[in-house]
C-alpha cells in the first residue's frame, strides 16, 4: 500500500514538472511569435495591453521591445513612458527606457534623466543609453531672438475612461506647438535637456512652466473638455497666473473625440498664457 502511494506521488510530481515545462514552452512560443510579427499599427494595441497586463515579466519585456518599432505612434510612447515610471520589475523598466530612446521622442528626456539616477543598475544604465540616443538626434537649437524658455509640465487628467497617458501626450504636443509659434519663446533647450537656473541665466532666458488639469466629461452626447492651465516660474515653480477654457464635441467618449475636443480648447486656454508671457518680457 505504501509502495503504491509512493508511486502515485511520484506520478503526481512528474505531472507537475511536465505542466511547468509545457507552461514555459508555451510562454517561449508566445514570445517568439510576438517577436516575429511585423511592426504594424494593428498590433500596437495588443502590445500595449500585453505590456500593461501580462503577469510574466518576460512577456512584458518582449512587448516593450516591440513597441520601439512604432516611431511616431503616440500610444506606444505613452505606454512605454508609463511603464518606465510604474512597472515593478527593473528589467521591464530598463527595456522600456531603451525603447524610448529608440523612438526618438525627446519628451521622454525628463523621465529618463530621473531614471538615470535610479539605484536599480539595469534601469539606470539603460536610461543613460537612451539619453545618449536622444542626444545624438537632438537638433541644433537656435536661441537667437528667444527670451523665454517654456517648459511643459506633466499635467493631469480627470474624468476620462480613455487612456490617460495617450491623451496627456497629445495635450503636451498641442501646448508645445502653441509655444513654438511665439517668436520669443523656445520650448527646447540646447542638448534637449531640462535647463537649470544657471543654464537659463547663461543663455539670458527667463524660465516658465505650464502645468494644469484637463477634465473630461460626457454631457447629453457631447464630450466636454475643461482645460485649466497654471503658469509658474521654472525651475522655481512659483505660480504666476491661471487660465482656463472649455470646448465640446458631439460624439462618444473615445480618445479620438477627446483629442478633437482639446484641439479646440487648447488655443483658447493658451491665449491667456501668451498675454502673460508678453507682459513678462
Radius of gyration from C-alpha coordinates of the chain: 24
Domains and CATH numbers, the chain: 37-136 (1.25.10.10), 148-279 (3.40.50)
Distance CA 162, CA 169 (A): 13
pLDDT tens for 179-232 read: 999 999 999 888 777 889 999 999 999 999 999 999 999 988 899 999 999 999
Q: For position 124, what pLDDT does the model report?
A: 93
Distance CA 252, CA 160 (A): 11
Name which of 182, 191, 189 is nearest 276 in CA terms. Answer: 182
Q: For position 24, what pLDDT does the model report?
A: 41
Helices (H) and strands (E) in the chain, counts: 10, 6
pLDDT tens for 68-90 read: 999 888 889 999 999 999 999 99
Exposure on the CB side of residue 267, measured as CA atoms within 13 A: 5
pLDDT digits (tens), the chain, 281 positions: 333 333 333 333 333 334 444 444 444 444 444 444 444 444 888 999 999 999 999 999 999 999 999 988 888 999 999 999 999 999 999 999 999 999 988 888 889 999 999 999 999 999 999 998 887 777 778 899 999 999 998 889 998 665 777 888 889 899 999 999 999 999 988 877 788 999 999 999 999 999 999 999 998 889 999 999 999 999 988 999 999 999 999 999 888 899 999 999 999 999 999 999 999 99
User: DSSP 3-state helix, strand, coil percentages of the chain (rounded to 5)?
Assistant: 60, 15, 25
Q: How many CB atoms within 10 Å of residue 21?
A: 10
Q: For position 161, what pLDDT does the model report?
A: 61
Q: For position 192, what pLDDT does the model report?
A: 74
pTM assigned to the model: 0.64
Amino acid at each position: 500500500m505504501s509502495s503504491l502511494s509512493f508511486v502515485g506521488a511520484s506520478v503526481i510530481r512528474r505531472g507537475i514538472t511536465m505542466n511547468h515545462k509545457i507552461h514555459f514552452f508555451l510562454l517561449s512560443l508566445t514570445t517568439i511569435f510576438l517577436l516575429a510579427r511585423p511592426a504594424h499599427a494593428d498590433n500596437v494595441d495588443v502590445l500595449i495591453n500585453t505590456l500593461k497586463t501580462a503577469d510574466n515579466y518576460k512577456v512584458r519585456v518582449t512587448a516593450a521591445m516591440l513597441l520601439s518599432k512604432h516611431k511616431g505612434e503616440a500610444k506606444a510612447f505613452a505606454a512605454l513612458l508609463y511603464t518606465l515610471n510604474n512597472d515593478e520589475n527593473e528589467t521591464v523598466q530598463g527595456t522600456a527606457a531603451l525603447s524610448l530612446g529608440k523612438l526618438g521622442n525627446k519628451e521622454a528626456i525628463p523621465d529618463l534623466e530621473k531614471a538615470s539616477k535610479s539605484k536599480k543598475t539595469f534601469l539606470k544604465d539603460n536610461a543613460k543609453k537612451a539619453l545618449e540616443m536622444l542626444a545624438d538626434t537632438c537638433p541644433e537649437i537656435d536661441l537667437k531672438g528667444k527670451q523665454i524658455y517654456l517648459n511643459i509640465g506633466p499635467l493631469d487628467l480627470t474624468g476620462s475612461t480613455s487612456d490617460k497617458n495617450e491623451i496627456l501626450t497629445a495635450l503636451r504636443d498641442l501646448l508645445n506647438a502653441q509655444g513654438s509659434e511665439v517668436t520669443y519663446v523656445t520650448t527646447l533647450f540646447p542638448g534637449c535637456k531640462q535647463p537649470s537656473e544657471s543654464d537659463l541665466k547663461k543663455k539670458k532666458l527667463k524660465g516658465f512652466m505650464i502645468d494644469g488639469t484637463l477634465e473630461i466629461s460626457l454631457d447629453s452626447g457631447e464630450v466636454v473638455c475643461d482645460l485649466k492651465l497654471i503658469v509658474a516660474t521654472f525651475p522655481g515653480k512659483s505660480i504666476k497666473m491661471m487660465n482656463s477654457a472649455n470646448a465640446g464635441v458631439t460624439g462618444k467618449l473615445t480618445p479620438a473625440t477627446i483629442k478633437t475636443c482639446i484641439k479646440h480648447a487648447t488655443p483658447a486656454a493658451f491665449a491667456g498664457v501668451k498675454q502673460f508671457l508678453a507682459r513678462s518680457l
